Chain A
C-alpha cells in the first residue's frame, strides 16, 4: 500500500459529496419519498391505469423502433467514417454531434415543420399515403434524431482500433468480405454496439422536448410517458405525477445498470496499453 502525499482530499471530496447530495440525490430521494408516501394500492392504481399503460406502450415501442433504426444507420455511419475517405467526411463526422448540440425544442419544431403534411418531406409522404407528424412514426423519427450519435460514437473508436491483421489473415484464408465482416468484425464490435444500443434506448425513453411538438399528444395513442407526467402536473395531480415519474426513474436506473455492465464488457475488448 503506497502512502498518498497529495493534499486536498477533504476539500475536493467534501465539495463533490455536497454538490452530488444537494443537486442530484436530494431531489431524486424527495421524488421517491413522495411516490412511496402514496401507499401500495394507490401507487399501483396510478401506474397501471389504462392511460399510463398506453403511454408506456407507445414510448417503449417507439424507442425500440428508433433504436433498431439507429443500429443500422449508426453502424453504417461509423463504418463509413472510419473506413472511407471522401470529400467532406470531416464535415459529416462533425455533424453527427448535431443532435447532441441542438436543443431538443429546436429539433422538435424543425422535425415537425419537415414532416407535417405540407412540409418538405411530409407532403411527399402524404402522397404515398404515409402520415408521420402527429403519429407514432413521428415520435420514432424524433427519437431517431436525438439518439443517433450514441451508437456512432461508441462503435467508432472500436472500429478505428481494430487490428487490420485479423482481416488480412481471414482474407488470406479466402474469406469473402461479407463472411469476414459477419464472423470476425461484427463479433468484435458487438460489445460496443450493445453499449450504444442501451444508451440510445435509454435516451429515447426519457426524451421530451423533441417529441412533444411532433407527437400529436393524443391520450391512449400518441402520448409518451414523460408528457403524461407533465399533464398530471398541469392538472395539479402531484401524486400521479410522482408515481409515474418514479416509473421513469426506476427504468432509468435499470438502463444505467445495464449500460454500465455493457460498457465494462465492451472495455474488456478495447482496453490496450
Chain B
C-alpha cells in the first residue's frame, strides 16, 4: 500500500489514498455523531417551542438570577484561583524545597476526584454534621446551602487549572532572567511584573479561560453544597436540571444554550491563545519536571 509520492515529500505510513480516506471518513462520521450532534441539538431544542418561549425563559427572574449567581461565583473563584496558581507556580519553579513533588501531586488531586466527592467533603467541613458546622451555626454564619459553599466547591474543582498551565512553562523558562533582575536591584514584585509576567501572560490567560469555563459549568460539586433554592442558590447548570426535571425541556435547553455559547467562546479563546504559544508545554511536565531531566 506504499502509495505514490505526492510532491517532494516521500509518502509516510498511512498516506495511501484508501487508508487516508477511510480513516478521515470514519473519524469525521463518529465525531459528527458524538460531538457535533449534541451541540446542534441544544440549539434546535432551545428554539423548538419558538422564539417567544426562548426569550421568556431567558428573561424569567429565576433564570436571570441563575445567570447572575454563576457570573458572581466566577468573579470570585477565578481571580482567587489565579492568585493561587501564580503563587504556586512561583514557589515551585523558582525555589527548591523538600516535598515539592508531593505538593505537585496534591495540587493535582481535585482533577481526579469526582465532583460529588468534592461536594460531600465540603459537607463534612461546613455542614451541621461536619467539623465546623455546629460552631458556624452558633455564630449564625451560613456557608453550606448558600453562596459561599458554591464558591468554595467551585474553587476546589478548579484549583489546579491555572497552576497546571504555569508550572511546566515557568520550569522550562528557568530562573536566569529573574535572578538577573534581582541582582540588578529590582524588587520581587517588580521582577515578577516586568520580567516574569510578560513571559507567561498567554499561558496565564489560557489557564484563566479554562478555569472560568469549569467554574461556570460545574454541576456535581455545586449540586451537593447548594440548597437548590430557586432564585437564591441556583447556578445556571443547576437551573437547567431543575427546568429539565420540571418537564420544561425547551426552557432547560434555552438555558443550556447560554452555557453552550460560553463553551464555544472558550474554545475560540483557547485556539487563539494556542496560536500565541500557550498550552504548548504539555501537562505531563507538571509531575516529572522535564527541564531538569532533559540531558
User: Which residues of the other chain, B, contact A30 by a CB distance below 8 angstroms?
Assistant: 121, 124-125, 130-131
Interface centre among B27, B33, B105, by most chain A C-beta atoms within 10 angstroms, is B27
Interface centre among A28, A99, A104, by most chain B C-beta atoms within 10 angstroms, is A28
Q: Which of B84, B106, B118, B183 contacts A27 (CB 8 A)?
A: B118
Known A77-B31, A92-B31; judge A7-B182 contact (CB<8 A): yes
User: Which residues of the other chain, B, contact A208 by a CB distance below 8 angstroms?
Assistant: 114-116, 219-220
B109 at interface, CB cutoff 8 A: yes
B270 at interface, CB cutoff 8 A: yes
Q: Is the CB of B38 within 8 A of A16?
A: no
In the complex, A51→B35 CA distance in Å? 33
B83 at interface, CB cutoff 8 A: yes
B117 at interface, CB cutoff 8 A: yes
Q: Is the CB of B13 within 8 A of A6?
A: no
Q: Is the CB of B88 within 8 A of A109?
A: no
Q: Which of B14-22, B55-63, B134-142, B197-205 contacts A (4 or more CB under 8 A)?
A: B14-22
Q: Is the CB of A252 within 8 A of B129?
A: no
Q: Is the CB of B295 within 8 A of A106?
A: no
Query: 8 Å CB contacts to B: which residues of A76-96?
Result: 76-77, 79-80, 83-84, 86, 90, 92, 94-96
Q: Is the CB of B87 within 8 A of A103?
A: no
Chain A residue nearest to B183 in the complex (CB): A5
Known A95-B36, A110-B42; judge A24-B244 contact (CB<8 A): no
Q: Which of A4, A96, A209, A271 contacts B293 (CB 8 A)?
A: A271
Q: Which of B114, B267, B287 contacts A206 (CB 8 A)?
A: B114
Interface centre among B28, B38, B120, B264, by most chain A C-beta atoms within 10 angstroms, is B120
User: Which residues of the other chain, B, contact A95 by a CB distance below 8 angstroms?
Assistant: 31, 35-36, 267
Nearest CB in chain A: distance from B92 CB, A: 8
B232 at interface, CB cutoff 8 A: no
Chain A residue nearest to B269 in the complex (CB): A101
Q: Is the CB of B27 within 8 A of A80?
A: yes
User: Which residues of the other chain, B, contact A94 by a CB distance below 8 angstroms?
Assistant: 267-268, 270-271
Chain B residue nearest to A232 in the complex (CB): B120
Interface centre among A13, A157, A185, by most chain B C-beta atoms within 10 angstroms, is A13
Q: Is the CB of A249 within 8 A of B113?
A: yes
Query: 8 Å CB contacts to B: which residues of A202-237?
Result: 202-203, 205-209, 213, 226-227, 229-230, 233
In the complex, A121→B39 CA distance in Å? 14
Q: Is the CB of A245 within 8 A of B259?
A: no
In the complex, A256→B295 CA distance in Å? 27
User: Which residues of the other chain, B, contact A259 by a CB distance below 8 angstroms?
Assistant: 112
B90 at interface, CB cutoff 8 A: yes
A53 at interface, CB cutoff 8 A: no
B152 at interface, CB cutoff 8 A: yes
Q: Is the CB of A103 within 8 A of B288?
A: no
Chain B residue nearest to A95 in the complex (CB): B35
Chain A residue nearest to B9 in the complex (CB): A164
A39 at interface, CB cutoff 8 A: no
Chain B residue nearest to A180 in the complex (CB): B13
Q: Is the CB of A206 within 8 A of B112?
A: yes
Query: 8 Å CB contacts to B: which residues of A161-186?
Result: 164, 167-168, 171, 176-178, 180-181, 185
B8 at interface, CB cutoff 8 A: no
> Number of contacting residues on B, CB 8 A?
110
Chain B residue nearest to A16 in the complex (CB): B88
Query: 8 Å CB contacts to A: which residues of B175-198?
Result: 175, 178-179, 182-183, 187-188, 191-192
Nearest CB in chain A: distance from B105 CB, A: 7
Nearest CB in chain A: distance from B102 CB, A: 11
Q: Is the CB of B267 within 8 A of A97?
A: yes
A56 at interface, CB cutoff 8 A: no
User: Which residues of the other chain, B, contact A226 by a CB distance below 8 angstroms?
Assistant: 114-117, 220
User: Which residues of the other chain, A, contact B106 by a CB distance below 8 angstroms?
Assistant: 20, 24-25
Known A76-B27, A79-B23, A148-B34; judge A267-B293 contact (CB<8 A): yes
In the complex, A90→B272 CA distance in Å? 12
In the complex, A7→B178 CA distance in Å? 10
Interface centre among A77, A103, A226, by most chain B C-beta atoms within 10 angstroms, is A103
A9 at interface, CB cutoff 8 A: yes
In the complex, A159→B135 CA distance in Å? 55
Q: Is the CB of B13 within 8 A of A5?
A: no
Q: Is the CB of A167 within 8 A of B120?
A: no
Please encode chain A, from 28 to 52, with 1 for each CB lying within 8 Å of some chain B CB and 0 for all others.
1011011000000000000000000
B208 at interface, CB cutoff 8 A: no
Q: Is the CB of A99 within 8 A of B109?
A: no
New A-B contacts (20) at CB < 8 Å, excluding given A7-B182, A272-B294: A4-B94, A19-B88, A33-B124, A34-B129, A80-B27, A95-B36, A101-B213, A102-B259, A103-B259, A105-B241, A114-B37, A203-B112, A206-B117, A208-B219, A230-B223, A238-B124, A245-B120, A253-B112, A255-B112, A256-B108
- List 15 A-B pairs, Cβ < 8 Å: A13-B87, A19-B84, A27-B124, A31-B121, A34-B130, A76-B30, A79-B23, A92-B28, A100-B213, A103-B263, A171-B2, A181-B13, A209-B219, A252-B112, A271-B294
- 7 nearest A-B pairs in the assembled complex, by CB-CB distance: A103-B217, A206-B114, A27-B121, A209-B219, A7-B188, A110-B38, A208-B220
